[in-house]
Amino acid sequence: MQQPITDHVDSHLEETIEGLKRLTRQPSISAQRLGVLECGEMVVGMLRDAGFDADLVPTADPGYPGIIAELKGASDRSLLFYNHYDVQPPDPLDEWETPPFEPTERDGYLYGRGISDDKGPIAARLAAIKAVRDTMGELPITIRWCLEGAEEIGSPGFHEFVEQNAERIKSDVCIWEGGGVNWDGRPMVMLGVKGLLYVELECRSAKTDSHSSYAPVVPNPAWRLIWALNTLKDESERIAIPGFYDRIRPALENETKAIAALPDTSREFLHDLGVEMAVGEASGYEFRRRLIMEPTANIAGFGAGYTGQGAKTILPAVARAKLDFRLVPNQDPQEILQNLREHLDRNGFSDVTISSLTSEHPARTSIEDPFVRQVADSARRVYESEPYIVPSMTGTGPQHPVQHILGVPVASCGIDYPGNRIHAPNENIRLDYFRLGVLHTAELITELGA
Amino acid sequence: MQQPITDHVDSHLEETIEGLKRLTRQPSISAQRLGVLECGEMVVGMLRDAGFDADLVPTADPGYPGIIAELKGASDRSLLFYNHYDVQPPDPLDEWETPPFEPTERDGYLYGRGISDDKGPIAARLAAIKAVRDTMGELPITIRWCLEGAEEIGSPGFHEFVEQNAERIKSDVCIWEGGGVNWDGRPMVMLGVKGLLYVELECRSAKTDSHSSYAPVVPNPAWRLIWALNTLKDESERIAIPGFYDRIRPALENETKAIAALPDTSREFLHDLGVEMAVGEASGYEFRRRLIMEPTANIAGFGAGYTGQGAKTILPAVARAKLDFRLVPNQDPQEILQNLREHLDRNGFSDVTISSLTSEHPARTSIEDPFVRQVADSARRVYESEPYIVPSMTGTGPQHPVQHILGVPVASCGIDYPGNRIHAPNENIRLDYFRLGVLHTAELITELGA
């Protein structure tokens, strides 16, 4: 690492944090269409201030514009950043120690909705770019940036957005969102994302809630939905939708080796969440293998009838459940949606409707790609420890179009640590890891330009 | 029916309805402790205005006082009225055509929360008492009135209240809340109530909601609660808690006959609720038998995770379900609570906690009781049609202590019709049936004094 770049990052750190706080104060809840446009404009402003040629670019839904930006450097060699400027809804609000949209610093941590996912990384990358540019006079490579405002609702229209803007986005390599350090502080280079199918199941009986004394004759949609869901997965955790596992490609030897090389942080992971025992009592290698390689059928929400204070003797008219399926290569979300429909029909639940809210294909970059070595080498120098190679993130993002339309290798490295609580109350970053993430990005830019 | 009494009822009908509207405007939601005391005081005021000696009388919980009132008549023969002045929560609010606490008259119907359950009957009985007293100079019998403010949360402490105030309440006969006409307009005399066990089940895993990408390793309490509930009842609708059906006494011959004599209103019932098909495709006798004689396990509410707009990929920290079990003679709510706990434990769900929110024993008055004939005879004269004898209401109320502590026969007759939508949005009464209910009560008072 060149000392002048480090000095620049450190002397501007307070200013960088102030920029991040400003960005976090602007809610941008895509699920609720709250503040998304305002936040997009703010990001464009920040990019232009840093010297980028940057614009809001419409997607199919004008409420969620993408952002495309470019800052030319000394060579044509090019690096693409992917980020998103939208955030998850902040509820349950009463579990936040400080308000989600009033970013607050405490004991070396910074709290706020989106502070880690994904506004912190935006601020960090901007700081790294400025440090390299100011120190070297100009960037050694061309940097492009593609941001979206609808990642947290499953990136609707992003596939078409990438297709339509391929010429403006296509670069030699891509750094994704996410990434950072493990519990032990060693950096992680992550090489893929899981896919996603997010559905809402609904069952109705009467046209209105009724008195629960009618229960001997009026069908209860909450019971029906429980019985329907029970056919999807039982206590074995095996997903019973026919064909669900059929397309999964077996783990490659280098993936298995990479997972084996990761430390056993299952205890820290569970302790941090206050969970006594992992599903299937998994620990060690098996714990990591499940997290990284296994698909899921998760109930994200279930609502029916009266859930307020005290007793209300009601027979609900409607019951709804939100489910997200995380998918691994080569599962296909549309095929699984169809299998789910057929499974419910076959089990007598054709009255349970399915709305598909969002879907995403899984994607992975090969561990053997030369770009992976460059990201790892630069990380090793900054963090002064051996990076972990993680075959896939446990989360989801629209890497599939970037890999498969643009043909660009993708890796994640950044500012995170495992206690970030993304999507949950008290989302936070650690400021020391934030600084290291800025330095690593600067180092990577320098390396790619060497 | 004496013409002067009918004339008095009719010439005061507008005034009676105004009183009912005033009472309905005062919310009294026991589940939320909202306006209960204020409403109790209002009822005491109305009773005193009608000449009663009336007082709020504390129960174990000072937030839910009972009311005991007496108006002496020409003889010691005594009639007890039971009513309650609390109401169910009004939600879902957006399904009300007019606000629940702004009573509104439309096309011969009056809408509002509590207008049928149970403020309409209070106003109707007051109107009948005034008509008899004003017309005859004094009541021919002594009327006592016992009201509670916590019926909708399962009458906690009412058993002890009846024990402690037995001397002030005990009467020769008792008219309960509920009752009115069937879909065909013929009056119904109802002779019992179902019991109730209302529980909340809760399952927790992590200390906070987390990112749904953790689903391969973090247990999901919504899944666990679904699996636990699935062991309680499957699509056969048979309740699988061991011992649940053991204490049910077989139907008596006169109960079976009475149910057979009721008209088949299953189509009207289902059409009114917008339900296509009854549970088990029941119709005719079987439909009525189930409603009147069968116990239930109803899900009144289920809540977990994110149930708002759009997609949120969350793994919930907690899942809760509210269940009400309607019980029939001689099921015992405490025994069933214990059986439920043991059943969950035996099936591996000792992590699912049970809070018992309320319970009530079932109760029935014998069809052969002479009081039943008096109620039916007076109904026949007023409605000019043959009354139906219904062995039990489908709902619940604290008749058990009145029957078993005071030893008083209990029947229900009143102002209702099957489209009342009690406990549901757009609760309503029909004004023509309201008037007939007033006249029947006046006729019964006259008959008991004859």
pLDDT tens for residues B229-271?
999 999 999 999 999 999 999 999 999 999 999 999 899 999 9
pLDDT tens for residues A361-376?
999 999 999 999 999 9
- % chain A with pLDDT above 70: 100
Provide the 10 A C-beta neighbour count for residue A373. 13
pLDDT tens for residues B312-336?
899 999 999 999 999 999 999 999 9
A120-136 vs A36-49: helix axis angle to the nearest 10? 10
Q: CB–CB of B298 and A274 under 8 A?
A: no
Q: CB–CB of A211 and B424 under 8 A?
A: yes
Residue among A94, A111, A226, A234 with most chain B CBs within 10 A, to mutate: A226
Dist. CA B307–CA A316, nearest whole Å = 15
Dist. CA A398–CA A194, nearest whole Å = 9
* Among A319, A358, A423, beta carbon nearest to B314: A423
Q: What's residue B375's pLDDT?
A: 97
Q: What is the CA angle B25-B27-B30, rounded to 5?
A: 155
Of residues B313, B315, B297, the one with CA closest to residue B223: B315
Long-range contacts of B158-163 (CB under 8 A, 24+ apart): B158/B59, B158/B66, B158/B398, B158/B401, B159/B398, B159/B400, B159/B401, B159/B405, B160/B59, B160/B60, B161/B57, B161/B59, B161/B60, B161/B66, B162/B398, B162/B401, B162/B402, B162/B405, B162/B406, B163/B401, B163/B405
Closest-CA distance of chain A to residue B283, Å: 9
Burial bucket for residue B73 (CB in 10 Å: 0-12, 13-18, 19+) = buried
By C-alpha distance, the chain B residue nearest A88 is B312
Q: CB–CB of A153 and B303 under 8 A?
A: no
Q: CB–CB of A307 and B320 under 8 A?
A: yes
Dist. CA A178–CA A186, nearest whole Å = 15
Q: CB–CB of A30 and B211 under 8 A?
A: no
pLDDT tens for residues A58-78?
999 999 999 999 999 999 999
pLDDT tens for residues B74-126?
999 999 999 999 999 998 899 999 999 999 999 999 999 999 999 999 999 99
Cβ neighbours of B315 in A, within 8 Å: 298, 300
* Among A30, A219, A394, beta carbon nearest to B275: A219
Return the higher-pLDDT residue of A436 and B184: A436
* Among B206, B213, B300, beta carbon nearest to A395: B213
Cβ neighbours of B308 in A, within 8 Å: 31-32, 89, 91, 301
Q: What's residue A317's pLDDT?
A: 96
Dist. CA A398–CA A444, nearest whole Å = 23
Of residues A113, A121, A79, the one with CA closest to residue A97: A113
Q: CB–CB of A306 and B322 under 8 A?
A: yes
CB-based contacts of B385, cutoff 8 Å, min separation 6: B185, B186, B187
Cβ neighbours of A304 in B, within 8 Å: 299, 301-303
Q: What pLDDT band is residue B418 in, cutting at 50, 70 and 90?
A: confident
CB B40 within 8 A of CB B56: yes
Q: Which amino acid is at A333?
A: P
A–B interface: beta-carbon pairs under 8 A: 319
Of residues A11, A80, A20, the one with CA closest to residue A46: A20
> What Cα–Cα distance (Å) separates residue A421 from each residue in A153, A292, B209, B315, B438?
18, 18, 9, 12, 63
Q: What's residue A195's pLDDT?
A: 96
* Among A222, A396, A426, beta carbon nearest to B302: A222
CB B220 within 8 A of CB A298: yes
CB B316 within 8 A of CB A275: no
CB A168 within 8 A of CB A145: no
For the four alpha carbons of A129, A149, A391 and A180, in that order, the dihedral sign comes to positive
pLDDT above 70: residue B1: no
Cβ neighbours of A88 in B, within 8 Å: 312-314
Whether ipTM > 0.85 holds is: yes
Q: What's residue A155's pLDDT?
A: 87
* Among B302, B314, B422, beta carbon nearest to A300: B314
Q: What pLDDT band is residue A186 in, cutting at 50, 70 and 90?
A: very high
Dist. CA A10–CA A26, nearest whole Å = 25
pLDDT above 80: residue A446: yes
Q: CB–CB of A301 and B278 under 8 A?
A: no
* Among B88, B310, B358, beta carbon nearest to A357: B310
Closest-CA distance of chain A to residue B136, Å: 40
Dist. CA A335–CA A245, nearest whole Å = 11
Q: What's residue A48's pLDDT?
A: 98
Q: What pLDDT band is residue B310 in, cutting at 50, 70 and 90?
A: confident
pLDDT above 90: residue B56: yes
CB B196 within 8 A of CB A409: no
Q: CB–CB of B358 and A311 under 8 A?
A: yes
Residue among B269, B314, B324, B412 with most chain A CBs within 10 A, to mutate: B314
Q: What pLDDT band is residue A92 in, cutting at 50, 70 and 90?
A: confident
Cβ neighbours of B421 in A, within 8 Å: 208, 210
Kindly state the helix (H) or strand (E) to which residue B411 belongs, with its residue range: strand B410-412
Q: What 3-state DSSP class applies to A260?
A: helix
On average, the pLDDT of chain A sits at: 96
pLDDT tens for residues A191-217?
999 999 999 999 999 998 999 999 999
Q: CB–CB of A304 and B306 under 8 A?
A: no
Mean pLDDT, range A425-448, rounded to an integer: 97
Closest-CA distance of chain A to residue B318, Å: 10
The conformation of residue A358, written as its DSSP 8-state character, comes to: E
Q: CB–CB of A218 and B273 under 8 A?
A: yes
Q: What's residue A450's pLDDT?
A: 87
Q: CB–CB of B302 and A302 under 8 A?
A: yes
Q: Quick one: three-class SS letters along B107-121?
A: CCEEECCCCCCCHHH
Q: CB–CB of B312 and A326 under 8 A?
A: no
Mean pLDDT, range B169-176, rounded to an integer: 96
Q: What pLDDT band is residue A309 in, cutting at 50, 70 and 90?
A: confident
Q: In whole angstroms, what separates CA B347 from the centre of its chain? A: 34
Closest-CA distance of chain A to residue B277, Å: 8
Cβ neighbours of A227 in B, within 8 Å: 230, 234-235
Q: CB–CB of B357 and A310 under 8 A?
A: yes
pLDDT above 70: residue A1: no
Q: What 3-state DSSP class applies to B356?
A: strand
Mean pLDDT, range A134-152, rounded to an integer: 96
Alpha-carbon dihedral B140, B142, B143, B146, rounded to 10 degrees: -170
Residue among B97, B209, B213 with most chain A CBs within 10 A, to mutate: B213
CB B229 within 8 A of CB B201: yes
* Among A91, A303, A311, beta carbon nearest to B322: A311
Residue among B84, B211, B283 with most chain A CBs within 10 A, to mutate: B211
pLDDT above 90: residue B183: no
* Among B208, B226, B227, beta carbon nearest to A95: B208
